[in-house]
A = this chain, B = another copy of it.
């Protein structure tokens, strides 16, 4: 039995939910208010971050990249989302890290912190009104990432090569959160938009499209497969 500690609009958690869906794995989802820094949660992951996967009989698996590697090693034999060739693995990991680390630092991290998580935090936890400068910078940055993504998928079937991989799921997970908030300028890049429409129409994506947050309505086109 798998359990995933997550937040519905945490992009790293969504990346893992997509992997679970693609591998056909059921997991119990537990919403963790990570900003509360619960003692029992810090025992599972001393870093205090999401997501954390629990696979009974194994140590807790913390962090998007580490969970992805773990699921590939223990559940990914039939249809791997990480290729077997060392050079191809580099490209998948490079682009997964691009979105999990760089895009998160420049776009999806500031957007989720300022527009979502700060609503739930106390002042001591860092809550309060959103920093509009941080949001403005994130909305500026996303345009460069969208252009890079479009440039990649104009020459490749999927982000890191011929087949769908962790790279596509990481990119789509982070974009999906910005899209929920209406912060993706899709009209700027048709190739990126078409790639996202393909990933978004996969069955693994459906649970993400029904997530809603009290007080933060999704953009009108968010759940629309033909946006």
Contact = CB atoms under 8 A, between A and B. Distances in A.
Contact of A93 (B69, B87, B101): B69
Interface of chain A, main secondary structure: helix
A120 interface: no
A40 interface: no
A89 B73 contact: yes
A91 interface: yes
A215 interface: no
A129 interface: no
Interface string A41-52: 000001100000
Interface string A65-107: 1100110011000000000001101110110011001100000
Contacts of A102: 47
Nearest to A48: B102
Interface stretch (A15-23, A56-64, A183-191): A56-64
A117 to B, nearest CB: 18
A73 B83 CA distance: 13
Count of identical protomers in the assembly: 2
A101 B63 CA distance: 11
A97 B58 contact: no
B94 A66 contact: yes
Interface in A160-183: none
A89 B63 contact: no
Which of A58, A62, A90 has most B Cβ within 10 Å? Answer: A90
Contact of A87 (B58, B63, B101, B148): B58
**Max chain B Cβ within 10 angstroms of own Cβ: one of A46, A70, A93, A102:** A93
Given A70-B86, A74-B86, A86-B74, A63 B148 contact: no
Contacts of A101: 101
B70 A90 contact: yes
A73 B61 CA distance: 21
Interface string A124-155: 00000000000000000000000010000000
10 contacts: A46-B148, A47-B102, A58-B86, A58-B87, A61-B90, A63-B97, A66-B97, A69-B89, A69-B93, A101-B101
